[in-house]
Structure 1
Amino acid sequence: MKNRIRRAVVAGLAVMPLTLTLGVAAAPDPAAEPAAGALPAPSSGFRVLPYLQAPGARTMTLSWVSELDEPGTVVVTGPGLRGPARLASEPERLDLMEYTQAELDQEIDGLEQGSWLWSDDSYKHSVGLDGLRPDHTYRYTVAQGDETFRGTFATAPTARRWDRLRLMAFSDTETEPMGAVEQREWELHPDGYTDGSVERPGPGSMWEQVHGSTTRYGEHTLRYPLDQRSALVENTEAIEAADPDLMLLAGDLVQGSGYQPAWDEFWRHFAGEYGTLASEVPLLTAIGNWETFGALNDGYGTPEDRSPAVIGRNRYHDYFDTPGDRDNPQYKDSYYRLDYGPVTLLTLDSTNGVPDENVDEGILTGEVFSGDDTNLTFDRRTTDTQGSFTASEYGAAFADVYPGLSPADTDLPNLNPGTEQWAWATEQLADARERGQIVLVQFHHAPYSSGVHGTPPNHVYADNQSGVAMRVYSPLFEEYGVAAVISGHDEMFERSWVDGDGDGVGFNVYDVGVAADGLRGEQLVESEGGELVPVGFNSRSQWSASADEPETWELDANGNPRLVDGGLHYGHLQMDLANTRCGAELTFSPVYLFPVLDDGYELVRTERRVYDDVVTVHLGDDGTPLAGPVKCRPDRG
């Protein structure tokens, strides 16, 4: 269950001498070969380096994971403190993180068997810091066993005094050890070339020899020139170089939360040997469908036993410390609110809706229909995002995993009107609007998408894990002046615009599922003429990297096609918020990492580029979106 956070008022602590042996921090080496038939022994030091959680103007939480049941020491220095403040952690064992036999026996082509495994011991440490000063930078040192890590963090500004903020967002990191050797499909839109471009390399080409190919919609499809591990490294390094204040990760963090090696790989990227973004920038996460999946540990389970889904969700709960516990202890940090200066971020849980729907079994809420979403009438509304299991099946498994609790105690909320989550969201939106906050919302399942998850379960081209049910929130978001919705799930880069009442004021919805996994385009079907054409269900789509950024290929000196511009690539959404003193401006920049290859198609580097869909939203002094730029009154500058 959820770990206890030890909180202390930093400003009130007595100064204590620091007597630590300082060394170079190093995450456990996943390449270290374990003894035959055994896992490595628990090591002194960090399993997961310190990572930042629950940021505020006067608060911050530092969390980390060790392999030994030993307290760690945190030392914090910065403005307002009477010298260095020293705190001790209280480790708590994470019983759910032990490896299963299937994980111990797993073999991955191209990797030494078991080289990605650590010991079977995980102890969570969380230290809460209070009494800090707004908009200031603090240095911290965490000593755990024989290792020491040094980092910095910045507190949030106040809602009244701020200048600029930068937020980053992506989704679908879906980490796993196989990511070191797997290169994903690289889909191409039917109109995917600029005029004059030569075509991509074909079957038998040098590209196929170097990077491979696959088949999508029955057609030859290239594999992307970066494996998933390299893609995420490049992405997080570019984000870190941009110096953001917050990092949003809208679900599907791992390739199966019930699969412990996927979590090990996740932390190697965010607080480990591949990168330390989460050690410097607070990570704000949403729960996705892969957080209820066991991967090789029986996937979603069976109708008689959905324990893989329960274990997956609660691994997620154990790792993250958010403000959610205060508002919804039953659902833990499944949905939560964070205020960061002028911004209110609401994170919702989009993983379950009731009544349950299931395409495979023909269990649908609304009547079956065709065409685009202008035909999505009230009678055709959909209620669920998860067709692989029901809420009652999950509740029964929850009671089995946690003896003494009943199915009614489930940590799986419902997303629909009349539920606790709906009432909470309505209350938070109203409060944020009363306070004049700029409101952003994130959740996993994209409500507006042109991808394979973009059509509802009751459409003729149905999907069993569609995000369309989350459209039920759109009138609420528009009523309370939400500036943007951040989502993922379809592994696209797409922006949709929602203006239900047609007054020119609405909100953008982004699918930012281009962190490091699939690179998928629009959902395609075969026309009567035998051609592949987009389904085109999402009438709100304004831009997508697949459809609106055609590729330009040129022949190099050896006669091989070389990509010089355009296309769908890994990347992230950059959100820059500027105080105009009579309102604010929020600029969305879709950033991508363009792969620069040598003559042998090997990666030389990636270049940070920005797609041609930079959008600026103008906000009034009450935080609500406006139809155009703010006109300042003379007395306000």
Structure 2
Amino acid sequence: MRPTRLIAAVASVALASTCFVTPAVAETPAATARAAQPGFRVLPYLQKPAGDSMTINWISELGTPGTLAITPQAGPDGKKPPGKKQTRTFTSEPVYQEIMEYSDRELTQAIAGLEQGSWLLANENHKHSIQVDQLKPGTTYAYTVTQDGRTFDGDFTTAPKSNDWDELRIIAFSDSETEPYGRIEHREWELSQVNPYTEGSDARPGQGSLWHQTFGSTARYGQFTLKYPLSQDIAMRENMATIANADPDLILVAGDLAQGSGYQPGWDEFFRYFAGEHGTLASTTPLITALGNWETYAALNGGYGTDADRTPAVISRNRYHAYMDTWGDPKNPQFKDSYHRVDHGPVTILTLDSTNGIPDERVGQMLSGEVFSGNDLAMGPENITTDTQGEFTEDSYDAGFVEQFGGTTADSDLPNFNPGTEQWAWAEKQLRDARAKGQVVIVQFHHAAYSNGVHGTPPNRATSADNQSGVAMRVYTPLFEKYGVAAVISGHDEMFERSFVDDDGDGVGFMSYDVGVASDGLRGEQYERAADGTWQPIRFNTRSEWSASADVPETWTTDANGVPQLTDGGLHYGHLQMDLRKTATGSELTLTPVYVFPVLDSEYDLVRTERRVYDDVTTMQFDKKGRVIG
């Protein structure tokens, strides 16, 4: 963790208020966005972290320049670095972001119970981005950003040298999928049909119960299913507060940041948690993100688009690029922020773009491999899958890019991930380089390659085939094993699962996690109906070693007022905490699945949340060259 921690503070920051009511979506006469206000629309957030550099971004509604003042506070030894001219000052050059404007549909959207358009900000977005170079590794810097007379004070610590560190903490999650509707929406809360309760536990409340009346219900696999007691908004706030208390060095978000990147209110909500009224974690901790399927989705502005018009998907991806700044691939700048590398002391983080593969596949229409049955042991060269995106083809996306931005299809920002592509060559080069430098390597991408969730079965499985399965990303497994990757972080299935992958059989492999439990769905294993009519888990992923939905039964007891209460267990929102510490022989990585447990009173009002840890804490040992040894 960082040697010094300064608390971020906000002074006179004008941000929109929120309210919590039951919504419905409709179109009504157009609302008007509020008038542009001075100050910050999005507070400063950290990007492109390095040992000698940091990028600080913020968004304003007025197009006036802002200033950044930065001062070193403490070096690796805890002492203030020497030097007469300590404070450096920069002036921003704001750039208007037309791509972030509200659409007519967003301006006319109605959510029942919310005042029309009350979640909208001004229809003005000016991005400020300052890359500060010539910084010193392992040094804490205080900074002040001033915008239109409003100020924000924060701090950050640069990456340490790879040979000068003691311990690091990285926290990862996925599938926040923020939107205004999430302020009151309670999502499905699946219960294992194989291992639902601990011995002696009461059962969940049923239909007509106080829980049902308070939070609602849905149906999963033909079964009555309660909804979770925390709204998406409260879940995100509590999860982020728990993460902030852990004081991480880096935050990984493995895709699906907003409920449709082409839906601007979703981004407004996202930054309220990361750099706004609900939290400022991204103002003090660098944010490292991946593209997910929702980063190619425009929600009410056209979804994924159509074969005749893919501009909704194009706009969605490029709105993500407008917010996020990464080191990218210098040999292929057209791909922008799609895939990238960050080195933080002894750790290398590779972020891949898993959103499209070739040949294109679509369930029942385009399949690159033979149809098969069974689990993943039945997959071979004749039926390996190649794509994660059955909603559009590479050609239709590229045509939409040209329609939206001009140029040629060679200018498209959509990379593919398969062998022979630019991204594949880049990834192998980075893996080779990181291994040569003795780094501990972590990889993140959105579509979980190893999952027993709803996206765990490939598009060419005979039954329960999925159009957005991550199975195609298994093509990277030989590379990950060859170059000694420690852990792969993904999401997409909105569950908490750990797999161990050792396909070459040498006894040394990598951990693969689905951490899609930020604040959206809480889904369990994928089921299909057996011959006797019962629902049985498919368990396509034979590498799975643990999941919260399958291996953590719930414990229910009745409180003093006769009200059933969950006291432990089950699937909850949370995150993966990764702690790396130096040892005499190298280093040790501890991977801790954390969940945020809701404590309710007898009327099912939230009393507090508690940070708890699932019983699946794992450790990995590395030698001094960053190679996994146990």
What does residue 599 of structure 2 align with?
596
- Structure 1 counterpart SS, 2:334: coil
Q: Distance in 1 between matches of 2:540 and 2:15?
A: 47
Residue of structure 2 in register with 1:17 after alignment:
none
Distance 2:95 2:35 in 1: 19
Query: What TM-score, normalized to structure 2?
Result: 0.94
In structure 2, what is the Cα distance between the partners aligned to 1:401 and 1:446?
Answer: 30
**Residue in 2 that maps onto 1:260:** 264
Q: Does 1:366 align with 2:366?
A: no
Q: Residues 30 and 118 of structure 1 are in contact (CA less than 8 Å); yes or no, is this contact kept in structure 2?
A: no
Inter-CA distance 145–507: structure 2 relative to 1 (3 Å threshold):
same
Q: CA deviation at 1:362?
A: 2.1
What do residues 424-481 of structure 1 show as CA deviations (whole Å, max 9, x unaligned)? 0011100110111111000000000000000000012200000000000000000000
Q: Which moved more, 1:547-556 or 1:465-474?
A: 547-556
Q: CA deviation at 1:582?
A: 2.0
Checking the alignment, whether the CA contact within 8 Å between 2:236 and 2:519 is kept in structure 1 is yes
1:408 deviation in Å? Answer: 2.1
Partner of 1:406: 408
Q: Displaced runs of 4+ in structure 1, greater than 6 A?
A: none
Q: 1:326 to 1:80 in 2, by over 3 A?
A: farther
Q: Secondary structure at the match of 1:229?
A: helix
For 2:490, the equivalent position in structure 1 comes to: 487
Task: Kindly state the Cα deviation for residue 37 of structure 1 after the two structures are TM-superposed.
Answer: 4.0
Q: Partner letter of residue 213 of structure 2? A: Q
User: Deviations for 1:552-608, whole angstroms, at most 9, x for unmatched residues?
Assistant: 001222332210110000000000000113210000000000100000111111000
Question: Secondary structure of the equivalent of 1:316?
Answer: helix
Q: 1:148 to 1:325 in 2, by over 3 A?
A: farther
Matches within 5 A, 1:548-559: 548-559=551-562
**Alignment-mate amino acid for residue 24 of structure 1:** A
Aligned to 1:3: none
- Return the match for 1:146 from 145, 149, 154: 149
**2:31–2:116 CA contact under 8 A, matched in 1:** no
Q: Structure 1 pair 518/36, CA: closer, same or farther in 2 (3 Å)?
A: closer
- For 1:294, which of 289, 292, 298 is the aligned residue? 298
* 1:216–1:80 Cα change, 3 Å: farther
CA distance in 1, matches of 2:34, 2:587: 53
Instruction: Provide, for residues 328-360 of structure 1, a one-character-per-residue CA deviation record: whole Å limited to 9, x for no partner.
Output: 31100100011110001000000000100011x
Q: What letter is aligned with 1:168?
A: I
Q: Determine if contact 1:27/1:273 at 8 Å carries over to the other structure.
A: no
Q: Secondary structure at the match of 1:296?
A: helix
What secondary structure sits across from 1:459 in the alignment? coil
**Which piece of structure 1 moves more, 91-100 or 320-329?**
320-329
Query: Which secondary structure state, in structure 1, belongs to the residue aligned with residue 156 of structure 2?
Result: strand
Q: Report the Cα distance in structure 2 between the residues aligned to 1:184 and 1:618, rounded to whole angstroms.
A: 38
Q: Is the 8 A contact 1:174 1:516 kept in 2?
A: yes
Q: Compared with structure 1, are the counterparts of its residues 25 and 137 closer, same or farther at alpha carbon in structure 2 (3 Å cutoff)?
A: farther
Q: Is the 8 A contact 2:359 2:387 kept in 1?
A: yes
The residue that corresponds to 2:346 in the other structure is 342
For 2:345 and 2:10, the matched residues in 1 are separated by 36
TM-aligned CA deviation for residue 31 of structure 1: 4.6
Deviation by residue 1:257-279 (Cα, 9 ceiling, x = unmatched) = 00000000001110000110100
Deviation of 1:109 after TM superposition, in Å, equals: 2.2
Q: Given the alignment, which residue of 535, 538, 559 partners 1:532?
A: 535
Q: Judge conservation of contact 2:10–2:153 (CA < 8 Å) in 1.
A: no
Q: In the TM superposition, what is the alpha-carbon distance from 1:134 to its structure 2 partner? A: 1.2
Q: 1:364-409 CA distances to partner (integer Å, 9 max, x unpaired)?
A: 1111111110001110100000000000000000001102x11221
| Alignment map for 1:499-578 (pairs within 5 Å) | 499-578=502-581
Choose 316-325 or 280-289, whichever is displaced more.
316-325
- Does 2:45 correspond to 1:55? no
Gaps (5+ residues) in structure 2?
1-8, 20-28, 73-80
Partners of 2:58 and 2:332 lie apart in 1 by 24
SS at match of 1:324: coil
Q: Distance in 2 between matches of 1:184 and 1:37?
A: 28
Q: Match for 2:375: what amino acid?
A: D
Secondary structure of 1:225's counterpart equals: coil
Equivalent-residue separation in structure 2 for 1:241 and 1:26 (angstroms):
23
Structure 1 residue aligned with 2:78? none
Amino acid at match of 1:248: L
Counterparts of residues 158-557 of structure 1 (less than 5 Å):
158-190=161-193, 191-324=195-328, 326-359=330-363, 361-403=364-406, 405-460=407-462, 461-557=464-560
**Are the counterparts in 1 of residues 494 and 523 from structure 2 also a CA contact under 8 Å?**
yes
Match of 2:98 in 1: 95
The whole-number CA distance in structure 2 between the counterparts of 1:420 and 1:130 is: 29
SS at match of 2:458: coil
Contact 1:27–1:48, Cα closer than 8 Å, also in 2: no
1:67-107: CA deviation from partner (whole Å, max 9, x where unpaired) = 11111000011135522211101100111011111000101
**CA distance in structure 2 between the partners assigned to 1:279 and 1:606 by the alignment:** 24
Deviation (angstroms), 1:304: 0.2
Write out per-residue CA displacement over residues 240-267 of structure 1, whole angstroms, 9 at most, x where no aligned residue: 0000000000000010000000000001
Amino acid at match of 1:525: E
Amino acid at match of 2:245: A
> What is the match of residue 24 of structure 1?
11
Query: 2 CA distance for matches of 1:510 and 1:542?
Result: 10
- One-letter identity of the residue aligned with 1:443: F
- Displacement of 1:27: 4.4
The one-letter amino acid of 2:523's match is: R
Q: Could you tell me how far apart the structure 2 residues matched to 1:316 and 1:582 are?
A: 41
Residue 123 (structure 1) aligned with residue 117 (structure 2): no
> By how many angstroms is 1:325 displaced?
5.3
- SS of the counterpart of 2:33? coil
For residues 347 and 163 of structure 1, the distance between their equivalents in structure 2, rounded to whole angstroms, comes to 24
Letter in 2 for 1:454: G
CA offset digits 1:106-146 (Å, max 9, x no partner): 01123221001011110000111111111111100000002
Q: For residues 255-313 of structure 1, what are the alpha-carbon distances to aligned partners after superposition, in whole Å with 9 as ceiling and x for unaligned?
A: 00000000000011100001101001000000000000000001011110010000000
Task: State the aligned residue count.
Answer: 602
Q: What is the CA-CA distance between 1:551 and the residue it aligns to? A: 0.2
Root-mean-square deviation (CA, aligned residues, Å) is 1.3
1:612 maps to 615
State the partner residue of 1:16.
Answer: none
* Letter in structure 2 aligned against 1:50: P
Q: Distance in 1 between matches of 2:270 and 2:51?
A: 28
Contact between 2:30 and 2:104, CA under 8 Å: does it hold in 1?
A: no
CA distance in 2: counterparts of 1:318 and 1:414, whole angstroms = 20
Q: Per the alignment, in what secondary structure is the counterpart of residue 586 of structure 1?
A: strand
Residue of structure 1 equivalent to 2:4: none
In structure 2, what is the Cα distance between the partners aligned to 1:578 and 1:146? Answer: 43
Partner of 2:23 in structure 1?
A: none
Instruction: Name the aligned partner's letter for residue 538 of structure 2.
Output: V
**What letter corresponds to residue 514 of structure 2 in structure 1?**
D
Structure 2: distance between partners of 1:27 and 1:398:
36
* Structure 2 equivalent of residue 11 of structure 1: none
1:397 is paired with a residue of what secondary structure?
helix
TM-score between both structures, scaled by the size of structure 1: 0.93
In structure 2, C-alpha distance between the alignment counterparts of 1:449 and 1:284, rounded to whole Å = 23
Question: Given residue 542 of structure 1, which amino acid in structure 2 is its aligned partner?
Answer: E
2:18 corresponds to 1:42: no
CA contact (8 A) 1:187 1:519 kept: yes
CA distance in 2, matches of 1:31, 1:468: 39
Q: Distance in 2 between matches of 1:80 and 1:315?
A: 42
**Structure 1 unpaired stretches of 5+:** 1-21, 628-637
Equivalent AA in structure 2 for residue 225 of structure 1: P
